[in-house]
């Protein structure tokens, strides 16, 4: 396995863990609380459920390397939405009460790489591709 493949696997798994933990945290807080917070900042409350499930299931899928490109693309859309709906007004570094969007930009770059890179090393995607070509 090349150095690039190793780094790709590390990025995919770490991003998966980060999103998985964020999803778990939303469920532990109570989705009704997340719904209320979304509503309080002008985001439709039902999106709390969509985001929580995407983070939880998508995180697991990234860790396993299952449909990595599609999951990464969904995370990009979600992160851009978070920036424009919740974080843009507080600036790049935040305002002391809320985090800015600098971390979201970093996550977008990593997930963008995962969405366009064709390196499914150590993943279910590779297993699926090898079955199709066999």
Assign 64 to helix, strand or coil.
helix
CA neighbor of 128 nearest in space, from 69, 75, 77, 76: 69
Contact 59, 13 (CB under 8 A): no
Under the banding of pLDDT at 50, 70 and 90, the label for residue 120 is confident
Q: What does pTM read for this prediction?
A: 0.92
Between 45-54, 76-85, 88-97, the lowest mean confidence (pLDDT) is in 88-97
pLDDT at site 111: 97
pLDDT of 104 above 80:
yes
Under the banding of pLDDT at 50, 70 and 90, the label for residue 134 is low
Average pLDDT over residues 68-75: 97
């Amino acid at each position: 396995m090349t150095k690039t493949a190793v780094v790709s696997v590390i990025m995919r798994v770490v991003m998966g863990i980060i999103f998985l933990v964020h999803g778990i945290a939303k469920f532990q807080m109570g989705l009704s609380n997340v719904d209320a917070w979304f509503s309080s900042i002008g985001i439709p409350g039902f999106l709390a459920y969509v985001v929580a499930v995407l983070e939880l299931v998508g995180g697991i899928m990234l860790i396993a390397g299952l449909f990595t490109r599609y999951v990464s693309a969904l995370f990009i859309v979600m992160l851009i939405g978070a920036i424009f709906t919740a974080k843009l007004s507080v600036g790049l570094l935040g305002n002391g009460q809320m985090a800015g969007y600098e971390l979201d930009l970093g996550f977008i770059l990593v997930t963008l790489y995962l969405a366009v890179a064709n390196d499914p090393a150590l993943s279910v995607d590779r297993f699926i591709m090898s079955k199709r070509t066999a």
